[in-house]
């Protein structure tokens, strides 16, 4: 049988499910992975929709497309796809892509440590993978510079009232709010519905009230929310729940006050959090920062040097974490399938 499209993928998770497409995509034009990402967004967004919407996907799922690197110093490139956007960088996805490339042999593994660079849309990302018995046991990546765009700003959030937030860039723009502002709300899985409701409202209000601009990525605004708070875990310093949007948010439509919680501690979210803490004088360079996600897993970050991004004082983070392969799949689009872009339903989607 001839299918319209065929994709080969490796299924991974670091708590968060992260699919890595390793085959089936034709040549994508562009002189950099960033240009390839923009071409894909404008000319073949069907790949993102097919992979992330039902029946092949669901709200928390992320997806990565492995492409040949354009930069001469990179071993491979990758394009990141999420439910409502193409981020220029994602930490958990980077860890998953590195794990897949090594454990499938696409990049030769050297034990006990393999070092190489990947080309994300955001640029070169340094990888240091600890390996043992053919497995990747830890990945540390050197992220793009992170910075604080807004510190301790008070915004008016419909249905919630006044909320104090920070906004940080860690590869995406995050609006970050201390969860202790919301009585009775805790960062644990059983509070997931309320976490997503509060986060969606904060995200929409921040988008309207706190303008941001990245000198290198015009048009990228605040697209993701993070609730943050203390942890009772002796192996962590702080806890977070990042909510990824799964559709447009409308203050007048409660059905849209939702999203999907990142099941991992979130690499770019950790970077953004560290940048805001550093801007407040609460986190020094080379001070380990252990960030716990809602499932209890931990990413460890370090701010290794200072940098400058336009007019912003920035810091360069490294993030360490782990991902696991849980399956290999071939996805196809049947020529008679009426849902050529997948579909969503209001029971679990915004």
Q: Give the residue numbers marked as catalytic.
A: 90, 266
User: For residues 291 and 270, is the Cβ–Cβ distance under 8 A?
Assistant: yes
The four Cα atoms 139, 313, 242, 325 give a dihedral, to 10 degrees, of -20
User: For residues 55 and 89, is the Cβ–Cβ distance under 8 A?
Assistant: no
SS3 26: coil
In whole angstroms, how large is the CA radius of gyration of the chain? 19
3-state secondary structure 290-318: EEECCCCCEEEEEEEEEEEECCEEEEEEE
DSSP letter (8 states) at residue 228: E
What is the Cα–Cα distance from 40 to 25, expressed in whole angstroms? 11
Query: What are residue 155's phi and psi, to 5 degrees?
Result: -120, 155
Helices and strands, counts by H and E, the chain? 5, 17
Burial 29-55 (b: 16+ CB within 10 A, else e): ebeebbebbbebeeeeeebbbbbbbee
Q: Is 185 exposed, middle or buried (0-12, 13-18, 19+ CB in 10 A)?
A: middle
């Amino acid at each position: 049988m001839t299918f319209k499209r065929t994709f080969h993928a490796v299924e991974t998770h670091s708590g968060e499910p992260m699919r890595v497409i390793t085959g089936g995509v034709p040549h994508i034009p562009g002189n950099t992975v960033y240009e390839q990402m923009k071409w894909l967004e404008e000319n073949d967004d069907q790949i993102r929709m097919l992979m992330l919407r039902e029946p092949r996907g669901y709200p928390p799922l992320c997806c990565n497309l492995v492409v040949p690197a354009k930069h001469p110093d990179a071993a491979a490139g990758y394009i990141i796809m999420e439910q409502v956007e193409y981020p220029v960088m994602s930490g958990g996805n980077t860890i998953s892509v590195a794990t897949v490339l090594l454990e499938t042999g696409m990049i030769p593994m050297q034990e006990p440590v393999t070092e190489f660079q990947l080309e994300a849309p955001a640029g070169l990302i340094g990888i240091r993978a600890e390996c043992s018995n053919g497995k990747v046991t830890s990945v540390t990546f050197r992220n793009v510079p992170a910075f604080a765009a807004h510190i301790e700003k008070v915004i008016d959030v419909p249905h919630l009232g006044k909320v104090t937030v920070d906004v940080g860039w860690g590869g995406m723009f995050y609006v970050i709010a201390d969860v202790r502002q919301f009585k009775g709300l805790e960062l644990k899985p059983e509070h997931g519905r309320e976490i997503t409701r509060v986060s969606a409202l904060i995200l929409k209000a921040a988008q309207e009230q706190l303008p941001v601009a990245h000198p290198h990525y015009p048009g990228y605004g605040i697209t993701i929310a993070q609730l943050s708070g203390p942890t009772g875990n002796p192996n962590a310093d702080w806890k977070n729940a990042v909510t990824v949007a799964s559709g447009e948010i409308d203050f007048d439509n409660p059905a849209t006050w939702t999203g999907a919680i990142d099941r991992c501690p979130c690499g770019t979210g950790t970077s953004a959090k560290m940048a805001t803490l550093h801007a407040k004088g609460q986190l020094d360079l080379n001070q380990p920062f252990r960030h716990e996600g809602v499932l209890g897993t931990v990413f460890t970050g370090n701010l290794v040097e200072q940098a400058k991004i336009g007019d912003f004082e920035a810091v360069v983070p490294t993030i360490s974490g782990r991902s696991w392969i849980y399956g290999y799949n071939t996805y196809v689009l049947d020529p008679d399938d009426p849902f050529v872009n997948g579909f969503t339903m209001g029971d679990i989607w915004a």
